[in-house]
Structure formats: C-alpha cells, structure tokens
Amino acid sequence: MLRKLTIVLISAVFCWTALAFAPPVFAGDTVSFGSAIAAAPKPLADGQYPVQQATYNDADGEYSLMLLNTPRGASPAFNTQDLQMARLSDEDIASGATSYLKLDKGQAALYLTEDFKIEYVRNVTETQPNPQTGEPQTVIVRRESSFWTPFAGAIAGQMVANALFRPMYYVPPVYHSGGVMAGYGGVGRTYDSAVNSYQKRYNKPPAAVKNRQNLRTSGNLRNRSSNRARRAKGNKNRATGSGFGSSRLRQSKRLRSPGRSNNRFGSGMQSRPRMRSFGRRRR
C-alpha cells in the first residue's frame, strides 16, 4: 500500500513540474504535436531553368524534367503533358547556351541542343479479362526504354529552317529499340495538329493517344501495374522502371496461385507468421 502511494505522489510531482515550466498557450495559437508537416513545394515561377534530364512516357504523353537552379522551396522535378519544343540556334549554342525550360505565363517550352537525348519509356499493353468481372481490360505488361533526339541532324531538311527555332508541339516517331530515335513523328502549332500530322504519316494514332484512351476506359490500370512491379521484388525479371533496354512487368499467374496471398489491389502485403505473446502464463 505504501509503495503504491509513493508512486502516485511521484507521478503527481512530475505532472505539476511539467505544467509549471511549460510555455503559456494563448488563444489563437496553434499547438503542434510531433513532427511538423512539410510544406507543399511552391509552383515554379516564370523564367528559364537549365534541364539536367528529360523523360517521355507514352502511357499518357507526360514529360518529366529534372531542372537546375529552381527557386528555394520549388521542386526541381517538373511534369507536364503540355510541352512545346524548339531547337537552340547556333548563335545561342556558340554563346554557351545549354538546353533549358522556359516558362512564360504558365506555358512550358523546351529549348534543346541538337544532340539532347530524351529518355523514351514505352509501355507494352495487352487486353486481358478482368479476374473479378470477366470484362476485357487493357493492362501494361512490360516497359521498355530507349532515347529520342527531336532535333537530330536528320530533321534539318524536313522543316523550314526558321520553324526549328519556334516553339511547336512534337510527337515522337514510332518507337524502336536499339540506337537513338531521331527526328519526329508529327509536328504542329497545336498538340492536335501534331497528332494529325502523325496520323497522316503512319495511318494510326500516336502511342500516347491510344494508351490514354485504352487505359482510361479500363480504369487506373497503370498504377496497378506499377504496384505489381514493386510487389515482384526478388523475382529475377522484376522491373527497374528506368534505364536503357527493356524490363519485364509481366503479370504472373503464380501471384494468384493457392497457398499465397491474393492481394487484389496490389498492396504488396503478405501474410506474416503469428507472433508469440510475451504474456504467457508461467507454469
């Protein structure tokens, strides 16, 4: 009984001490418990930013740029599907200019040297029945990577010289692995006109246009495919998601075989062995 009373008194003394020395809190003050929540990055202001690397994903036609010299608080990563491009003039290059992104009233334009390489991520899709509903759905089964130079030397004779140095919309050529894809598949002052230019040349829509439509009607399957790739760690054919060459993202039926966890939404969680309780009764 005396021991319990002593513990209660010591606890009361600690509580009183903490309250006595705590800083006062006034009305309107915000009390923060735990770590502070990181502030969202500021939107990128208009200006010119050197480009370190660029990636094009034909699943949705999005460009992902890694920029240098961004303002404090702004993210160096810039993603957009609305991107114009132009070639740097010889005078600019002679004066030391390098590839850069220009933002003007929210419009993004990428000014590139002739040999600037954009990583091209190709998404190979298949139509498969949905395991739950049986309805056909389009899924990404594999990703491949190559490089694309929109303003390689071969393009010079394809356009009026002055047009090269004006920001316009470019659609990549048909994907092929090995080597570097030079030039463009379609070009226009608007994205739709660039798509029409591509269709006239190849008699089919660009991969990004086709994938956007098919993946949209089948649901958000691109993210599910990424989850499957992360869940397949340890598999020799797991995807890297970047780099030159190809990476396999094929869905394995073994993931749904009896005796293994069947995670329908790609959570990647597996059943764990039951932990023994530390509170077992002593014999």
pLDDT at 110 over 70: yes
Query: Regarding predicted confidence, which is higher, 20 or 204?
Result: 204
Looking only at the bridges linking them, the beta strands covering 83-87 and 107-112 are parallel
pLDDT tens-digit readout, 85-105: 999 988 999 999 999 999 999
CA distances from 44 to 52, 102, 150, 243 (A): 16, 11, 25, 27
Q: What is the per-residue pLDDT across 144-164, written as a single tens digit (0 to 9) for each?
A: 999 999 998 745 455 555 678
Euclidean distance between CA atoms 4 and 184, whole angstroms: 82
Return the structure tokens found at 22: 């705590």
Domain spans in the chain, listed from the N-terminal domain onward: 47-253
- The tokens of 82 are what? 């609305």
Model pLDDT, residue 107? 94
What would the two tokens of residue 157 be?
Answer: 């004779």
Task: Indicate whether 199 pLDDT > 90.
Answer: yes
Distances (CA, A) of 205 to 149, 199, 200, 215, 263: 20, 5, 9, 15, 35
Residue 36 token pair? 């502070």
Tens digit of each residue's pLDDT (9 = 90 or more) over 40-51: 778 899 999 999
d(CA 132, CA 179): 41
The mean of the pLDDT values for the chain is 74
Q: Are the C-beta atoms of residues 206 and 171 closer than 8 Å to each other? A: yes
pLDDT over 70 at 267, yes or no: no
| pLDDT > 90? residue 109 | yes
Q: Would the pLDDT of 120 be above 60?
A: yes
Q: Between 192 and 10, whose confidence is greater?
A: 192
> Which residues lie closer than 8 Å to 270 by C-beta, 6 or more apart?
260, 261, 263
- Output the CA–CA distances (angstroms, integers) from residue 270 to 231, 260, 263, in the order listed: 10, 8, 8
